[in-house]
Amino acid sequence: MHSYPRWKIWLILAVLVISAMGSLPNIAKAPSWWPSAMSKPMSLGLDLKGGIHLVLDVDVDKAITHTVEEDLGTVRQELRKARIRYSKLEADGRSQTVELKDAADMAAAEKLLHDNLNGYTIAKTAATTFTLTLDDKDAQEIRKFAVDQAIEVIRGRIDALGTTEPVIVKQGDRRILVQIGDQVEQVRAVILLKEGYRPAPRA
């Protein structure tokens, strides 16, 4: 028959008592005299209590397109102020095409573009045409801002529902991980319907 030192027996008993005290709030309301550190139920993972696990895809390319289109509006406004006539202004993804009516205005237009647009590479692609391409660094900053802003919007919507301990974190360059343990349908509706985000395709 094995004999254990008395201190080991008391240590095992102490661990069992502490474990039992920590588990009580998960099955019943703890009494008022219960230690405050053990009075709150343990937070269970989604695998134990159920919930939703969403990986959302943010349309960062749309954010870039929107920024380029806004900048093209600035170009249009400044050309009109300077009375420089143009025959074509077009945005396409990360680039803009500015086509003038008179080649004599090219020098003035080039200075105007450099003065009013940051983050673009400006190139003459024809006698009366400029092509402006958004720099990689600025494009990446726009993508990051779009995801960060989306996280803030989603967090605000979910917090307004009073959801307990949501997990909302960035995953990769354009995805957001959302884990929720309660109010599943409300949260799903708020994120997917009101905000217009879409679940990311499975890898």
Which residues 6+ apart lie within 8 Å of 114 measured at CB? 122
| DSSP result, 59-113 | -HHHHHHHHHHHHHHHHHHHHHHTT--EEEEEEETTEEEEEES-GGGHHHHHHHH
Q: What is the pLDDT of residue 173?
A: 86
Tens digits of per-residue pLDDT, 85-143? 999 999 999 999 999 999 999 999 999 999 999 999 999 999 999 999 999 999 999 99
Total-model pTM: 0.65
Domains and CATH numbers, the chain: 46-61+138-199 (3.30.70.3400), 62-135 (3.30.1240.20)
